[in-house]
Amino acid sequence: MTKFVCPRSNGQEIACAALQAPEMAMDKTMLSRALEVIERVLTEGAKTHPPNDWREKGVLGNLDHAHGHELLFRHGDNQEEDNLAHAATRFMMALQLREEGKDDTTE
């Protein structure tokens, strides 16, 4: 059995048990289409939002923003923008801030 190793941001590596199961086999293209959509959202957002505006919102602000897009998506409101893509982007922004140690959820 192939051993899958995942690098961590602190330079350590951990065994990724989930990736070892054949039904969970991942390749580099697994999320490529989703990431392309998020890249489009970021590119378009850069035209309408101040630089790094998302960082000022913090983890909770980005989660709130993501939730708003999620609710719009669930109610079928996708005429003006792709709310699922916008929600995913905001979730990734919140995750990025948390991974950078800027987690405001414990304040």
Q: Express each pLDDT in 31-73 by its tens digit.
A: 788 999 999 999 999 999 999 999 999 999 999 999 999 999 9
Determine the structural domain holding residue 49 and report its residue range: 28-99
The verdict on residue 11 lying in a domain is no
- Alpha helices in the chain, H assignment, sequence order: 17-20, 32-48, 53-74, 83-99
The verdict on residue 19 lying in a domain is no
pLDDT at 14: 54
Q: Is 69:41 a contact under the CB 8 Å cutoff? A: no
The verdict on residue 21 lying in a domain is no
The verdict on residue 81 lying in a domain is yes
The verdict on residue 64 lying in a domain is yes
The verdict on residue 17 lying in a domain is no
The verdict on residue 1 lying in a domain is no
First to last CA, the chain: 44
The verdict on residue 50 lying in a domain is yes
Domain count, the chain: 1
Is pTM beyond 0.85 here? no
